[in-house]
Amino acid sequence: MIHLAWPWALAALPLPWLVMRGLPPAPANNGPALRVPFLQEVLALGDEQNQRKSMQRRWLKIAPWLAWLLLVFAATQPQWLGKPVALPLSGRDLLMAVDVSGSMAAKDFMLDQRVANRLQVVKAAAKTFIERRTGDRLGLILFGTQAYLQTPLTFDRNTVATLLNEAVIGLAGEQTAIGDAIGLALKRLQAADTKDRVLILLTDGANTAGEVAPRQAAELAAKEGLRIYTIGLGAKPMRQETFFGPRIINPAADLDEATLKEVAEITGGRYFRATDTASLEAIYQELDRLEPAARDTEYFRPHQSLFIWPLGLALLISILLAAGRLSWWPKLRVNAMTDPTRNGVNP
């Protein structure tokens, strides 16, 4: 349907009529007349063009009013309103902090029946999780020796998933700054006016860098109402055949589960342990249950502005009017008065 954003602009429609009624008419031109001996021949010549002149006079009377009508209609900002679109909203700001330190290169996971490093598995599982977070504002923090904001809070889930997929191991350094990642998330979420704020922190190690201790950062987060869900990444101990015989290795030996559990408990969140791809996907599904994606629905009607069409037609009419006043009538009068012999008339 067509909607007028500024319907009050229609009040300007009678303005030209009011001007014509209020202002005195232009004085008539009563200058000296010119005696033409061949007046009858000129009048006869003009009889053939009476019909065309009549149409032109009618056009010159109607066109200005039509142009004014189109201008006023364009001023009302006509819009074409589309069908209502439902926008599910949760009112939640959710940040994901992903470890990209050197230890994430360990290949102790399987992805699509192939050996994959930890970051590749995180990308695959998080992509599906991000797609399900309809209505949330999502953000992405990458951390290693330093923590930095890769994606600010946004409703554009595709951008968040794309930038996570482009993350590279070692991009932020080889060590792990868990406390700094929490501090950065707290700083970004403090600027938001949303009360429901969540951080999902995923790491495979311990805090070995940064200026803020994880416990200290968690206490500050708890005061600000930030819930932190921590995920510890690393495969279970496994048997490995070596030259000297079989031995048991623990790929997650560097994982500081005690600190991650403490951070989650202080902020009212939970700690999860991911030992393979299936368990990581199950953790994200549990997070969907703990933090439902959509609670309310808001409707939005897309609109397309149409003012350019009446404005363009008004401009076209104005050009035609200017061309007619500058060329049509003067040309007819000049030809009739200066070249009477063209139709066999002798002066």
CB 75 within 8 A of CB 12: yes
Q: Tokens at residue 150, please?
A: 């890769």
Which helix (DSSP H) or strand (DSSP E) does residue 180 occupy?
helix 178-190
3-state helix, strand, coil in the chain (%, to 5): 45, 25, 30
Tens-digit pLDDT profile for residues 138-196? 999 999 999 999 999 998 999 999 999 999 999 888 999 999 999 999 998 887 767 78
Binned at pLDDT 50, 70 and 90, residue 335 comes out as very low
Indicate whether this model's pTM tops 0.75: no
Q: Tell me the H-state helices in 213-347.
A: 214-223, 257-267, 277-290, 308-323, 329-338
> Residues 338, 38: contact at Cβ < 8 Å?
no
The whole-number average pLDDT for the span 116-137 is 90
Over 60: is that where the pLDDT of 281 sits? Answer: yes
Mean of the per-residue pLDDT values for the chain? 81
Q: What are phi and psi of 315, to 5 degrees?
A: -65, -40
Beta bridge partners of 100: none
Closest to 261 measured CA to CA, from 272, 275, 274: 272
Buried b / exposed e across 264-280, counting CB within 10 Å, b at 16+?
bebbebbbbbbbebeeb
> What are 3-55's pLDDT values in tens digits?
888 889 889 888 888 888 877 776 665 555 555 565 555 555 555 566 666 66
Percent of the chain beyond pLDDT 90? Answer: 39
With contact defined as beta carbons under 8 Å apart, do 67 and 173 qualify? no
CA angle (215 as vertex; 212, 216 as ends), nearest 5: 50
pLDDT in tens, 185-236: 999 888 776 778 899 999 999 999 989 999 999 999 999 999 999 999 988 8
CA nearest neighbour of 181 among 234, 154, 220, 225? 220
